[in-house]
Structure 1
């Protein structure tokens, strides 16, 4: 099956296995109506891939620790999740420099992206 080209920034892509919509400025994705900060686009591909791998492994380790009821392992894994997300730019200081605040976790409909979000047809 041929691979689809990635959507352009701000393209309306439906959830359900597809890529979530990206705000026109490329700072956020929208998942279930909420804004989530994207990784810093200044990261090179190799660094982003390595950090994403570390993040996914740490998340798997959180799940394993929960299943094993191991509180110490869970704390260690959650710290690794946090470190990877900060390194990716998804948490911690914002990666853009224009002074705009971080709107992560805000409802898109209640944000400066409300008009754009309304064009997606999401509830």
Structure 2
């Protein structure tokens, strides 16, 4: 998914897809580390699909664990990458968070 296609919260912590917040990658990651993690994420996602098509539950579980590890490495899951104590709102509907007014303006919806 290219995050550039979706609105990003003013603080850069989330992008929004169909009204839902999704945590962005840690901006402090070095480019080489980010690229390696993204490659692993894409490979693992591909492997999930292959395992599902072959009805291989063990391979699917392994691939899903690799997806999770890559997403945690990117900072998209697990402990938050920011240090100010703000809560993790990953997967929350933007309209139900402190981002509601911002999102209403971006989405062209009433606040």
TM-score band w.r.t. shorter chain: over 0.9
TM-score, L = length of structure 2? 0.92
In the alignment of these two chains, the number of paired residues is 107
Q: CA RMSD in A?
A: 1.4
* Structure 1 position 67 matched with structure 2 position 53: yes
SS of aligned partner of 1:30: strand
| 2:66 paired residue among 71, 74, 80 | 80
Where relative contact order (Cα < 8 A, 6+ residues apart) is larger, the structure is 2
TM-score, L = length of structure 1? 0.83
Asked if 2 retains the 8 angstrom alpha-carbon contact of 1:52 and 1:84, the reply is yes
Gaps of 5+ in 1: 1-17
Name 1:9's counterpart in structure 2. Answer: none
| 1:47 paired residue among 33, 45, 50 | 33
Name 2:86's counterpart in structure 1. Answer: 100
Gaps of 5+ in 2: none
